[in-house]
Structures are given as structure tokens and as C-alpha cells.
Structure 1
């Protein structure tokens, strides 16, 4: 086994996020992706695995993906990785922050991640590719894709990012998004190709559909 992976469903008021804890069994080094809420869940799993938090990977800078970074940084002193474009656009700062760029390779605790820049939800959104798993933050959900209406958002960029993932990610790769809207994380890219409408639209229709008015909610995908 190359690594153990835990999908942590985090709840805080009306925010529900997925954070991911990855442990390399030999070194017992751990990496957490987008730590949001419920610190006790992360610390409990670290203790259970006798693991040390080596790094934090951030798909983007929004509060519901970075809330626990200061706490974890102070308590465990991990390195923190965020795209250079996101750092520049958002002004996000923390201790031991390292800038990363498109197609960078990160070797962390015996694990090798490939960084894929996928703007659209934010200017510098990043996906992380590890083994047979892709961690997509708010770029690509099982059921849809992230909103493009906040500062740094762009439906044109989101379309290009979705098309990139369609080209580069094989059907058997499991997708682990930052949020779930009915389906549990870990569905295959093949499943998304068949069932996620945003992977089936051309550029014009994608932009119109994602930005249409009178949606029932921000995550009304149909």
C-alpha cells in the first residue's frame, strides 16, 4: 500500500466540507488537503496512525478550505503549499507558506503529488494528483463545478480547466472534491463524464448555464 487515505466530512454551521488526510505507512508522514473545521478529527486520526503532519495542501484560499491552517501550523509546524497565482491574487499568508506552480511535482513524506492549475472558481485554484486520486477542491464536483461569481472567478477559465481535466485525467481515476451534493467523494472520472453535465457542454453553453440567472441556489447544477 502506497498510502492510507481518509475522507473527512467537516461540518461548521451551514458549511459542509471534505478534507483529506493522507498517511504514508512507512514514514508515518501525513499530508492534509484543505483543512476546514473539526480539528479533533484530524488530530485523532494522526494519533491513531502514529503519524506526523508533514504538509498542508490548499486547493484555494477560501475560508472554508483554510480555516484550520493557522491552528495546525502553530501546533504541528507543517509546510503549507498554495499556488503562486492564488497567493498573489488573494493575499493569503501563513507560516511556512510555499508557492507552487502548474505541473510542479511535490515530494512530501514519500508521496509524490502533481500540481494542476485549474482557475475558474478562483484565479489560482489548484488540483492535486496522487496515484489514482485527484483532489479537486471547488473546481470539479461529482455533481457539477464550482461557482464563478466571487472575486477571481471566471466561467471562461472554469470551462478551460474542466476541459483540461477531461483531457488529462483517465477514466479510472477517483475524484475527491471539496464538497459533495448527494454523491460521496471518490467517484471515478468515468462516472463524472457520464453524469456531470458540465463535462458535456460546449464553451458557449457552459458559460451560459453556469452563469444563468434565477438559479435556486449557488449549487443548483441542473
Structure 2
């Protein structure tokens, strides 16, 4: 099961991926509003085992440390974005006059890695471009795409470490090859599908 709530001033999508049979769960991109996320988890009655990050920008990681301590969950991020967890300069929070300097990740994600959440599997797809260590998570219910692919748009590449060509290559070679009916759950905004983005996304024509 994939559920979404927008959090923080940037409206980043935080996802709760849970296994109905075992009640095990992973939080993906808890960008802010730790208290609200805690209420959400309590309502669902699930046990959080992992906190997984699509990338390291501040609006996707803001509640990581508080939730990690509360649930004793393991935090995973791609090695190329790992420094963003511990450095406000790298995760861009200092640009807004604050500094998110969190603890290091518990484990590093790699392309093709499988994270088991109860009876569910999340497959890591490395999609550099928005950030050097951007990833997506593929499940049986759809693709959690972070800030790589949006409804009708793609991630920004004008931040440090961004690369427009890498982002396009990531999307074309790794995401658009998925079945067209694959649901896409992005880091901001509404969900879409791979087929819709292949047909209508102006950045991918």
C-alpha cells in the first residue's frame, strides 16, 4: 500500500509504504512535520522499519532524525547524496537561513538493490540528474520518483551537482522503459503514469 501526504513549506510528498499482511512499513522522504507523520503512522497502526530517501535536499529530509530515533528505523540514501544528510550546505537548507545537519545514514542505497518491507519489495533505481545520488523506488503498486519525474515536468538541475543531460538519460533509459500503466508517485504534485509522461511531458519529446 502506498499513501501520500504533502509536508512542509515546499509541499514535498512524503510516502508511507506498508505491507497489509505484516504491518511493516517504510517512510519515504519525511521532509517536515514530524508530529503529523507520527499521527499518520499511529492511525495506520504500522511498524516503521526503514526511512528511505529519494535524494538529500532539505525539503525531503527535515524530519529524518526525529523519526529515526522514535521508531528506531534504519535510514537509507544513495552514497552520492550521503553528505547531504550531514551538511546543511549540501542539502541547501543554509540557503534559507537554517542548517539541517543530521546523523549519517545507516546504510547506502545502490542501483538494483532490493529493500524488503514485510512481504513487499522496493527496488532501487539510481536516477542521477536532479542530484548526483537521486533514486526512485519501484514497487508492485508503482514508482516513487522523488524529484526525478513529475506530472508534466522533470526535476530541476540548476542546483549544485545537478545535470540536465544525466536527468534526461536517467528518465529515458530507466523510467520510460517501464510499462506504460505504471503509476508514478512524484516528490511534489499529483501522481501520473509512465504512459502519460511519454506522451505529454514537454521535456521528454
TM-score (structure 1 length as normaliser): 0.80
Deviation sequence 1:72-100 (CA, Å, 0-9, x none): 0111110111112222x646463662111
Contact 1:78 1:96 in 2 (8 A): no
Alpha-carbon distance, 1:134 to partner: 0.4
**Long gaps (5+) in structure 1:** 201-222
Q: 2:50 aligns with which of 50, 55, 58?
A: 55
Cα distance in 2 for residues equivalent to 1:189 and 1:31: 23
Bigger radius of gyration: 1
Contact 2:176 2:198 in 1 (8 A): no
Q: 1:154 aligns with which of 148, 163, 182?
A: 163
Match of 1:79 in 2: 74
**RMSD of equivalent CA atoms:** 1.6
Cα distance in 1 for residues equivalent to 2:36 and 2:196: 29
Cα distance in 1 for residues equivalent to 2:56 and 2:29: 9
Cα distance in 1 for residues equivalent to 2:37 and 2:203: 32
Question: Once superposed, which parts of structure 1, at least 4 consecutive aligned residues long, lie more than 4 Å away?
Answer: none
Match of 2:3 in 1: 6
Cα distance in 2 for residues equivalent to 1:166 and 1:53: 27
Cα distance in 1 for residues equivalent to 2:58 and 2:85: 13
Alpha-carbon distance, 1:36 to partner: 1.0
**Long gaps (5+) in structure 2:** 87-101
Q: Mapping of 1:110-125 within 5 angstroms? A: 110-125=119-134
Q: 1:189 aligns with which of 185, 194, 199?
A: 194
Contact 2:2 2:141 in 1 (8 A): no
TM-score (structure 2 length as normaliser): 0.86
